[in-house]
Amino acid sequence: MNNQKETLTSAKVKQDSAPCATQAKQESREDVHAHIFSTSSSLQPREGNWSSLLNWLDVSPDALVIVNQTGQIMLVNDQVETLFGYQHSEFIGQPLEMLLPQRFHEAHVLHRERYAALPRTRPMGAGLELYGLRKDGTEVPVDISLSPLLVDGELYVLGAIRDITERRRLQEREHLARAEAEAQLELLQLILDELPTSVYLVQGEEARLVLANRAATAVWGATWQVGQSMQDFLTSNHIRVFNIHGEIFVPADLATLRAFQQNEKVQAYQESIRHEDGTIIPVLVNAVVLGQHFLPGVKVIVREDEKKEYYSDSAERFTLVVQQDVTESMELERRKDEFIAMASHELKTPVTSIKTYVQLLHRRLMQEGNEQSAQILTKVDMQLGTLTRLINELLDVTNMATGILSWHEEMFDLSHLVREVVEDLQRGTERHRIQIEGEVSIQIAADRERIGQVLSNLLTNAIKYTPQGGPIVVKQRLEEDKILLSVQDWGIGIPAEKQAQIFERFYRVRSPEHETFPGLGLGLYLSQEIVKRQGGRIWVESQAGEGSTFYFTLQAKPSFEKGKGDEE
């Protein structure tokens, strides 16, 4: 091969087995250029002569072959020799088919004849995979372009052959990588589809879908198209999402969008999805924002030609969303609540009857002057009061969970209520002295019984957690449009680390010294809910071993202050 290179141009000019080469006229390079590269019309063969051709054949990076109308090879450049492994002399005068695998021969002859009839510059075998045949019998993938050529008035065809082995290899590798990534993603899809939990992946601020599993389609009641934004998906399918209170979600508050916008992990977010047909699916949503490096496969795979395409267009982050359909557990919860509500109601009936009997008996004993026995019945009655309160708490908590806490607003004098509650609780204890300080006689609009319930809860706690007895102080203070009430005791107090939790549902301070105190752990939770509902706030200041002060505020809504004693 090195040999040939040395003799490159001269050899070809000398070896003029090419019949016309000898007649070549010397022309200036500019003329050659004008002739050969004339692109005036691709239908018109280019014109030139052999000598001008020889000047540029070897500068081409492609292998160039010139054949006559009968398909005989007239001229080749150096690259052809390199590509096919023949000596220059072995080509000349041979049929072009020597460079093609046997299987293409027959068809090629036909193609060649057809080309001769309508010669123009074009790629050969467009869309087909072309191969050349080397001298050693191996095949090489090639691209071929054809161009008609007029040399000294005669029509020839110039074929430019390019070895595309490397390109094919790269394509193949890319194809393989793509297939592998697709397979991985398909496997992922398969796994996700088998999950009972709804899972979907969205991209960017608008939450455009990348992929979703079957359960997601079931939860949404519609198919979310890949690339479709969440808002568009919801709107076009008439899907509405409600929060726990049955209010429609502002889009930005949806777990999926919220996680992305605030770049935070959203956990156990409650949403109710309503389909167009009215079906409601309550879900718990977890959403987490992922960096792009989590999904190397997704970006490669954008298959627009298939019905399943994976969307990805920029460096925007992804949000992975998992929805758990809680229809069943909600139903169980609902039945449990219903049961408790019914049970509470059923329990109250016998309590009513017992209470009436007890009070009746108490009155008789008093009339008979048997005060000692009457005292015992007072204690029974107190216990019945506790029982009633517990039943009510259970009922309230279950009702609160369903958002139907009964509320009956009326105007009343707060100081009267405070006095009533204090007197009621004082009756149940001899060791504690409940004092009222700073009485504010003010009419407020609220649920009298509920506010009484809060005060009663706080006082019950103060009594319960001051086992040694002592004073308990109830204070009222008017502050602009608010009334501040406080209940202070000097009992065992609450450790600082537990103060934040005491308002939680079913929470009870657990420590050796607290173990002996009974209760459901609902009182403070209910109190907080009631105070919040009234537009107020409840909090505690306490130190372990030194006692606690519970505060709560009430809005002094449309009200008019009354001077003390106006009522009497």
Partner 1 sequence: MKGRKQKTIFIVEDNAGVADALVLLLVEEGYHVDLWVQGTEVNLQPPFPDLILLDLLLGGRDGQTICRHIKDQETTRHIPVILMSANKNVPRIAQEAGADNWIMKPFELWNLLALLDASIGQRQLIFDQEVSE
Q: Which of 294, 357, 517, 539 binds partner 1 (CB under 8 A)?
A: 357
Q: Could you tell me the smallest distance in angstroms from the CB atom of residue 387 to partner 1?
A: 9
> Distances in Å between the alpha carbon of 492 and those of 146, 168, 469, 539?
100, 83, 11, 17
Q: Could you tell me the smallest distance in angstroms from the CB atom of residue 388 to partner 1?
A: 6
Sequence-ordered alpha helix ranges (H) in 273-326: 296-300
Closer residue to partner 1, CB minimum distance, 145 or 399: 399
Q: Could you tell me the smallest distance in angstroms from the CB atom of residue 345 to partner 1?
A: 5
Q: Could you tell me the smallest distance in angstroms from the CB atom of residue 527 to partner 1?
A: 16
Q: Could you tell me the smallest distance in angstroms from the CB atom of residue 243 to partner 1?
A: 25
Query: Can residue 349 be called a binding residue for partner 1 (CB under 8 A)?
Result: yes
Query: Can residue 197 be called a binding residue for partner 1 (CB under 8 A)?
Result: no
Query: Can residue 302 be called a binding residue for partner 1 (CB under 8 A)?
Result: no
Distance, in Å, from the CA atom of 450 to the CA atom of 419, rounded to the nearest integer, reads 15
Which one of 48-56, 83-91, 325-333, 355-363 is the stretch in contact with partner 1 (CB under 8 A)? Answer: 355-363
Q: Could you tell me the smallest distance in angstroms from the CB atom of residue 449 to partner 1?
A: 8
Closer residue to partner 1, CB minimum distance, 182 or 337: 337
Distance, in Å, from the CA atom of 439 to the CA atom of 476, rounded to the nearest integer, reads 6
Sequence-ordered alpha helix ranges (H) in 118-213: 165-194
Q: Using N-to-C axis directions, what is the helix angle for 371-401 and 523-533, rounded to 10°?
A: 60
Distance, in Å, from the CA atom of 523 to the CA atom of 393, rounded to the nearest integer, reads 7
Q: What is the DSSP letter of 498?
A: G
Q: Could you tell me the smallest distance in angstroms from the CB atom of residue 383 to partner 1?
A: 12
Which one of 100-108, 215-223, 259-267, 344-352 is the stretch in contact with partner 1 (CB under 8 A)? Answer: 344-352
Strands in 482-489's sheet, in edge-to-edge order, are: 432-437, 470-479, 482-489, 547-555, 538-543
Q: Distance between alpha carbon 530 and the CA centroid of its chain, in Å?
A: 35
Closer residue to partner 1, CB minimum distance, 279 or 406: 406
Query: Can residue 352 be called a binding residue for partner 1 (CB under 8 A)?
Result: yes
Task: Quickly list DSSP for 36-72.
Answer: HT--S-TTSPEEE-HHHHHHHHTT-SSEEEEE-TT-B
Q: Could you tell me the smallest distance in angstroms from the CB atom of residue 363 to partner 1?
A: 7
Span 403-422, contacts to partner 1 by CB under 8 A:
406, 408
Query: Can residue 388 be called a binding residue for partner 1 (CB under 8 A)?
Result: yes
Query: Can residue 363 be called a binding residue for partner 1 (CB under 8 A)?
Result: yes
Asked if residue 333 lies in contact with residue 401, where contact means CB atoms within 8 angstroms, the answer is yes
Q: Which of 243, 359, 426, 555 binds partner 1 (CB under 8 A)?
A: 359
Q: Could you tell me the smallest distance in angstroms from the CB atom of residue 278 to partner 1?
A: 28
Query: 């009992």: which residue's tokens?
Result: 491
Q: Could you tell me the smallest distance in angstroms from the CB atom of residue 455 to partner 1?
A: 18
Query: Can residue 384 be called a binding residue for partner 1 (CB under 8 A)?
Result: yes
Beta partners for residue 101, in sequence order: none
The beta strands (E) that lie in 338-458 are given as: 409-413, 432-437, 443-447
Distance, in Å, from the CA atom of 67 to the CA atom of 53, rounded to the nearest integer, reads 13
Closer residue to partner 1, CB minimum distance, 134 or 355: 355
Q: Which of 105, 275, 348, 505 binds partner 1 (CB under 8 A)?
A: 348
Query: Can residue 356 be called a binding residue for partner 1 (CB under 8 A)?
Result: yes
Closer residue to partner 1, CB minimum distance, 72 or 392: 392
Which one of 181-189, 197-205, 271-279, 341-349 is the stretch in contact with partner 1 (CB under 8 A)? Answer: 341-349
Distance, in Å, from the CA atom of 11 to the CA atom of 26, rounded to the nearest integer, reads 17
Q: Using N-to-C axis directions, what is the helix angle for 448-464 and 523-533, rounded to 10°?
A: 150
Among residues 113, 94, 114, 115, the alpha carbon closest in space to that of 45 is found at: 115
> Which residue ranges make up the site for partner 1 (CB under 8 A)?
345, 348-357, 359-360, 363, 384, 388, 392, 395-396, 399, 406, 408
